[in-house]
Structure formats: C-alpha cells, structure tokens
Amino acid sequence: MLRDSESINRQEFAQQPALSSWCQRQNDVQQVRPQKLANLISAENIIQRTCNHCYVREALIHCVECLPSEWFCAECDQLVHKRHTLHNRQTTVYGFYKYISPTDFVKLHDDKYIICEQDCLLPTAFPPIICSCDCGDVISAVIIFMFQC
C-alpha cells in the first residue's frame, strides 16, 4: 500500500482543482447515502421479544443496566424498577427506541400501550446517626414501624 501511494503522480494530484475534488466527494456521498440509511434503519429494527422476567407477555421496555435479563413487559418493568428507579430504560411503544425517565412507565389503555408519569421514591441511604443524643431506641422503633406498614 505504501508503494501504491508513492506511485501516485504528485503533479496530477496537485493540479486537480479543489472544487472538482469537493464535487467528486459530494457525488460519492450521494451514491452511498441510500445504503448508509438502510444500514442505520436496520440497526434500529424493533424485534418482538418476550419478557425476560415473566416469559409470557411481549417485552416493551429495554433496560441497559438489568443485564442479562434486560427486556421487560409493562407489568414486570413496574415491579422491577420500583426498586431500581435510576436505571436507563428505553421503550418501543411508538415503534422506535425512546428513552424514558425514571418517573415514566408504560401501561395498557384502551388496547394501546401509552407512556404515563408516576411518583417514585429516589433511593436514599439511611443515615447511621440522626442526632448527637443517645437515642438508639428511637431509630429501632422507626425501623420496626416501617416494616409493619
């Protein structure tokens, strides 16, 4: 390949006007554009899948973090992502991949799937010490109360 590049007549290359070179590149781009577009579209092709959680319903949500079981139906997505609210999820409801926020979920409404909003709790860590006083009984009482509800 190096020998081929040395055999190029440098004078012919230098004498070629920049405009004709630009026009030739534009022509090349126009010729390969349909193939590139077809490749992009086929890469985003939506394949019908079954939910990796229940193995029954059609999967509509793809979660990037839930590997290797990353495809969920609407119901299983709500169950799993109540605990994992900050996962990056996409839906295929509208026929293409669309990222949805942690507050969005998919539900069946009038025989069509739609995207709705919901309230969700963000994951927070329980602080080891709430105050400087010695009140260990209060913390354990709060934890027991939370589990009873």
How does pLDDT run across 62-118, given as a tens digit for each residue? 998 988 889 999 999 999 988 888 899 999 998 888 999 988 989 989 999 999 888
pTM of the complete model beyond 0.75: no
Q: Domain range for residue 10? A: 2-43
Whether 80 and 148 share a structural domain: yes
What would the pLDDT profile of 69-82 be if each residue is shown by its tens digit? 899 999 999 999 88
Any idea which residue has 């290359």 for tokens? Answer: 13
- Average pLDDT of the chain, as a whole number: 77
Whether 26 and 98 share a structural domain: no
Whether 82 and 133 share a structural domain: yes
Average pLDDT over residues 51-68: 92
d(CA 71, CA 93): 13
Whether 146 and 91 share a structural domain: yes
Whether 86 and 128 share a structural domain: yes
Tokens of 86: 């900050």
Domains contained in the chain, number: 2
Nearest CA-CA partner of 71 in 56, 39, 83, 82: 56
Whether 29 and 52 share a structural domain: no
Whether 100 and 69 share a structural domain: yes
Amino acid (one-letter) located at 43: A
Whether 87 and 137 share a structural domain: yes
Whether 87 and 124 share a structural domain: yes
